[in-house]
Amino acid sequence: MFAVPRAYDRAITVFSPDGRLFQIEYASETVKRGATALGIACSEGVVLAAEERPISKLQDPSFMWKIYQIDEHIGGATAGLNCDSHILIDQARIYAQSNRLMYDEPIDLEVLTRRIGEIKQLYTQYAGVRPFGVSILFAGVDKKGSRLFSTDPSGGFFAYRAWAIGAGGDAANEVLEAEYRDDMVLEDAILLALKCMSKVLEGKIDPQKIRIAFVPATTKRFQRLTVEEVEKYIKKLGAGRKAASK
Alpha helices in 55-185 (DSSP H): 82-103, 109-122, 169-179
- The Cα 161–Cα 41 span in angstroms is 5
Residue 4 has pLDDT above 70, yes or no: no
78 catalytic? Reply is no
pLDDT tens digits, one per residue of 47-87:
999 998 877 778 777 777 899 999 999 999 999 999 999 99
Asked whether residue 4 is assigned to any structural domain, the reply reads: no
Asked whether residue 137 is assigned to any structural domain, the reply reads: yes
Determine contact, residues 52/211, Cβ cutoff 8 Å. Answer: yes
Asked whether residue 211 is assigned to any structural domain, the reply reads: yes
Asked whether residue 7 is assigned to any structural domain, the reply reads: no
Give the pLDDT score at 3: 47
For the chain, how many structural domains are there in total?
A: 1
DSSP structure class, residue 132: -
Find the domain containing 96 and state its range.
22-51+60-245
Asked whether residue 238 is assigned to any structural domain, the reply reads: yes
Give the pLDDT score at 186: 97
Choice among 30, 36, 113, 124 that is catalytic = 36
Residue 1 has pLDDT above 50, yes or no: no
Q: How confident is the model at residue 113 (pLDDT cuts 50, 70, 90)?
A: very high
Helix, strand and coil content of the chain, in percent to the nearest 5, comes to 40, 25, 35
Query: Considering the chain, what percentage of its residues have pLDDT values greater than 70?
Result: 93
Asked whether residue 10 is assigned to any structural domain, the reply reads: no
Higher pLDDT, 60 or 201: 201
Classified as helix, coil or strand, 206 is coil
Asked whether residue 8 is assigned to any structural domain, the reply reads: no
Domain of 133, CATH number, reads: 3.60.20.10
Residue 246 has pLDDT above 70, yes or no: no
Give the pLDDT score at 5: 47
Asked whether residue 16 is assigned to any structural domain, the reply reads: no
Give the pLDDT score at 185: 96
Residue 242 has pLDDT above 90, yes or no: no
